């Protein structure tokens, strides 16, 4: 038997009605479509001006949709998501339709996928690559990936060749949009020649994409042990895109260790385009 919960919110910032339908074990896609159709038909006119959503939980899939289009989406989306989970060997995935004002495109979340993140990207492209979606890949202690599709095979191959498995080990977060890298965050070990090691990472990543892009780093822990200051900094590679009027830019010593400020200054002199 299906379980349906209703969530209602109305305040000055949002008007939203959301149903969450937990499907019984073994429920078919046709049953999910029937539930979506029934709930959509039962919404009264008093909710005409509300954002209306339906989340369906079914056999490892979590699919959040706009109620008005849920029936059509459920005719094809579950089978495509199941094909993806089978190809990747993961237990489940989450899909957020862009009806939610928090998202500018459809979101596909995949957790705990084994193997290379580039293999995951390829599998997603096989199912959704021609569509405008964002892949969010969280692999536990490994780097978090955010990839906005369409993402071409050529751009992926170029970045994969540049990154390599050794660089993946220091990455914390990577963001890709418009066929190029937009943000890379890394953590490197403390020790000698931190700047040289960071330069090597920047050069390698830059050879696999086109500027501008954002580079963030920390050394060891993200915060110092004695003053809770940042151990790393931020560089606008191939650009000068900084919050110039922010307190951190004007008074970096209030936020960053002395070593981090020195490294940031050296790296900005080499890689950004500021006068």
pLDDT in tens, 174-196: 999 989 999 999 999 998 899 99
- pLDDT exceeds 80 at position 103: no
- Tell me the pLDDT tens digit for each residue of 10-57: 888 788 888 899 999 889 999 999 999 998 888 877 777 888 889 999
Q: Provide, rounded to the nearest whole percent, the portion of the chain with pLDDT above 90.
A: 66
Q: Which residue has the tokens 């780097």?
A: 143
Task: Provide the pLDDT for residue 267.
Answer: 98
What is the average per-residue pLDDT within 147-152? Answer: 96
Question: Which residues, at least 6 apart from 209, have a Cβ–Cβ distance to it below 8 Å?
Answer: 155, 158, 159, 162, 180, 181
What is the average per-residue pLDDT within 249-274? Answer: 96
222 within 8 A of 232, measured Cβ to Cβ: yes
- Cα separation, 136 vs 108, in Å, equals 6
Which of 82-96, 113-127, 194-208, 223-237 has the highest mean predicted lDDT (pLDDT)?
A: 194-208
2 band by pLDDT with thresholds 50, 70 and 90: confident
């Amino acid at each position: 038997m299906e379980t349906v919960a209703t969530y209602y919110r109305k305040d000055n910032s949002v008007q939203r009605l959301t149903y969450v339908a937990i499907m019984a074990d073994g429920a078919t896609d046709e049953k999910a479509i029937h539930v979506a159709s029934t709930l959509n038909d039962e919404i009264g006119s008093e909710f005409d001006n509300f954002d209306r959503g339906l989340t369906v939980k079914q056999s490892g899939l979590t699919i959040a949709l706009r109620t008005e289009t849920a029936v059509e989406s459920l005719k094809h989306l579950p089978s495509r998501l199941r094909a993806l989970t089978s190809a990747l060997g993961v237990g489940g995935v989450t899909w957020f339709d862009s009806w939610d004002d928090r998202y500018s495109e459809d979101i596909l979340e995949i957790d705990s996928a084994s193997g290379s993140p580039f293999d995951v990207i390829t599998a997603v492209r096989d199912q959704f690559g021609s569509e405008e979606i964002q892949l969010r890949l969280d692999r536990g202690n490994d780097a978090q990936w955010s990839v906005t599709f369409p993402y071409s095979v050529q751009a992926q191959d170029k970045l994969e060749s540049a990154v390599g498995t050794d660089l993946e080990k220091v990455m914390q977060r990577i963001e890709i949009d418009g066929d190029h890298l937009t943000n890379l965050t890394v953590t490197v070990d403390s020790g000698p020649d931190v700047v040289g090691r960071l330069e090597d990472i920047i050069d390698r990543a830059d050879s696999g994409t086109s500027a501008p892009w954002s580079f963030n780093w920390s050394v060891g822990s993200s915060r110092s042990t004695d003053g809770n200051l940042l151990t790393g900094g931020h560089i606008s590679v191939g650009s000068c895109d900084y919050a110039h009027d922010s307190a951190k830019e004007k008074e970096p010593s209030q936020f960053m260790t002395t070593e981090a400020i020195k490294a940031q200054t050296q790296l900005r002199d080499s890689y950004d385009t500021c006068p």
